[in-house]
Amino acid sequence: MKDNKARYAAIIKKEAKDLGFLSCGIARAGFLAEEAPKLEQWLAQGRHGKMQYMENHFDKRLDPTLLVPGAKSVVSLLLNYHTQEKQRVPLAPKISSYAFGQDYHQVTKEKLKSLLRRLRDSIGEIEGRVFVDSAPVMDKAWAAKAGLGWVGKNTNLISKKTGSFFFIAEMIIDLELAYDLPVADHCGSCTACIDACPTDALTAPYQIDGSKCISYATIELKESIPETFKDKMEGWAFGCDICQTVCPWNRFASPHQEPAFQPKEELLALTAKEWEELTEETFQRVFQKSAVKRTKYLGLQRNIRFLNPLSSGGSTDD
């Protein structure tokens, strides 16, 4: 039995690697006792802003055995989106690199489904579900428990070998497996992310006020962007990569090998003027299948209009 747990874990990790996941780690499914008071406090302080979905399913979010009956193991998987590609026009509104290519939800879900199929073929009957941002699961906490990295002062999961430019997904299954151990925190005395955050969303080490984050204002918020963000956007029109770009551990990140995440040439080449005059037709073409579609055309237009040209360093570039 003990041997099977280790053997099955090894099969899962091999298949995950084969399918292009960056890494895979496994933790025993159960109640997240350490995270529970932190999540409760975060919600009580209103740090989720208008992300009402974060208030839902509090108990299930903290315990995957309530979400997937019979769950024994949480298999965490990382999918790299790190790229050397950059938007080529310096003053153009910025899109977070995670949204350069096709929407990660679809890309990752396909890989997760293939993984589960392969495991059913090689191991046998497995009951469970796969998730990528599709259910109340605390992705970072599970990946940290499974030894894939530590949750850093910028509140992202970071690994010494691969940095933090990756998505986290899970497979929650009824199979007992050999479990991995958490790794140590390597933030040390560094505070680069806190110092660099233009909106002071990182209120203290390891703590984020989500409602102050540019990512929230440009992606999650459905109404007007509050005036408190004025002059602080640093040119970001969809998401924000600042607290990851400054993180020294991202010096060790390798570019992804996922063709679906390859940015469209047209996106990289759009000038500030073209962004400002973005039509719905161009939006649909450039962001076809992209995660940017989440804001819809009017949302992205709102973000572009909100950007103070002076805050991104000048007016137009062409």
Question: Annotated catalytic sites, by residue?
Answer: 133
Give least dist CB 123 to ligand B12, A.
Answer: 25
Q: What phi, psi does 163 have (nearest 5°)?
A: 70, -140
- Whose structure tokens read 């918020």? 221
What burial class does residue 167 get, using C-beta atoms within 10 Å of its C-beta: 0-12 exposed, 13-18 middle, 19+ buried?
A: buried
DSSP character at residue 70? T
Instruction: Indicate left, alpha or beta for 8 from its phi (over 0: left) and psi (-120 to 50: alpha).
Output: alpha
* CA 22, chain centre distance (Å): 14
Of 4-12, 115-123, 159-167, 176-184, the segment contacting ligand B12 by CB under 6 A is 159-167
Q: Is residue 152 a contact point for ligand SF4 (CB under 6 A)?
A: yes
Which does residue 178 touch among ligand B12, ligand SF4, none (CB within 5 to 8 A, set by kind)?
none
Give least dist CB 273 to ligand SF4, A.
Answer: 25
When binding is defined by CB under 6 A, the residue of 87, 102, 108, 199 that contacts ligand SF4 is 199
Residues of this chain, 161-190, that bind ligand SF4 according to CB under 6 A: 187, 190
Residues of this chain, 227-266, that bind ligand B12 according to CB under 6 A: 239-241, 243
Q: Is residue 173 within a helix (H) or strand (E), and if so which, with residue range?
A: strand 166-173
Which does residue 58 touch among ligand B12, ligand SF4, none (CB within 5 to 8 A, set by kind)?
none
Instruction: Cite the DSSP H helix spans in 147-295.
Output: 192-196, 214-215, 242-245, 265-269, 272-276, 280-286
Q: Is residue 291 a contact point for ligand B12 (CB under 6 A)?
A: no
Q: Is residue 237 a contact point for ligand SF4 (CB under 6 A)?
A: no
Q: What phi, psi does 78 have (nearest 5°)?
A: -110, 140
Binding site for ligand B12 (CB under 6 A): 35, 38-39, 42, 51, 54, 96, 98, 132-133, 137-141, 151, 154-157, 164, 166-168, 206-208, 210, 213, 215-216, 220, 239-241, 243
